[in-house]
């Protein structure tokens, strides 16, 4: 009988270790899974301390943290030597470069209920799956995302530049609209200037 007790103890220990391992994997999967509807999830690389969030209605900027959920009205800023990822509710991935300033805005007409106002940004947008209806705005232009992969850049003056790698993006302003496809580039200054 002592051998059976020892064997039973080993099986219990192995079962416990498997349970802990499975729980850890589930926790990691939930951390990178799509965030709930009407939110973006912040993903920080280790050592990123130059990322700040201003909650809707607040005046203070607080340090961002990994897994933080951003809702309509929240702003996020990256400072020098910092890059982050924003995960959208539909699985869209936005890599955000340094010195970016973005505000999450309500967009009732979209499935996600959100859009992004880019005051200053360098973004790389990547999405596989069903087309997304995310909108990006600057002070002078709006981009309706209909594609899956593109680079987007804007500065404080609202000058926007989009380079589409795969899919399509509609760039518009008071002067008109341009539909960009694979390999096309457009810049928005006073008028739309497709390259």
pLDDT digits (tens, 9 = 90+) for 56-69: 999 999 999 999 99
Task: Provide the greatest CA pair distance for the chain.
Answer: 87
Q: Enter the CATH code of domain 36-194.
A: 2.60.120.1440
pLDDT under 50: residue ranges of the chain: 20-22, 24-32, 190-195
Reference 127, options 104, 108, 146, 106; nearest CA is 146
Q: Residue 133 in 3-state DSSP?
A: coil
Q: How many CB atoms sit inside 10 A of residue 58's CB?
A: 12
CA angle 142, 146, 148 (to 5 degrees): 115
SS3 category, 192? strand
pLDDT tens for residues 139-177? 888 888 776 789 999 888 878 888 999 888 888 888 888
pLDDT of residue 192: 44
Against a cut of 0.95, is the pTM above it? no
134 neighbors 148 (Cβ within 8 angstroms): no
């Amino acid at each position: 009988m002592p051998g059976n007790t020892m064997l039973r103890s080993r099986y219990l220990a192995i079962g416990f270790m498997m349970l802990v391992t499975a729980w850890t994997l589930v926790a990691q999967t939930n951390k990178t899974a799509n965030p709930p509807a009407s939110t973006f999830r912040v993903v920080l690389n280790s050592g990123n301390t130059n990322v700040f969030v201003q909650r809707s209605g607040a005046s203070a900027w607080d340090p961002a943290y990994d897994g933080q959920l951003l809702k309509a009205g929240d702003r996020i800023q990256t400072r020098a030597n910092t890059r982050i990822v924003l995960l959208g509710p539909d699985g869209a991935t936005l890599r955000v470069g340094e010195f970016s300033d973005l505000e999450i805005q309500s967009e009732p007409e979209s499935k996600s209920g959100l859009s992004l106002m880019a005051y200053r940004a360098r973004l790389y947008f990547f999405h596989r799956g069903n087309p997304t209806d995310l909108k990006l705005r600057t002070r002078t232009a709006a981009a309706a995302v209909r594609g899956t992969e593109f680079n987007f850049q804007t500065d404080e003056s609202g000058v926007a530049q989009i380079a589409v790698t795969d899919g399509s993006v509609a760039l518009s302003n008071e002067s008109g609209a341009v539909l960009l496809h694979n390999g096309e580039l457009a810049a928005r200054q006073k008028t739309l200037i497709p390259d």
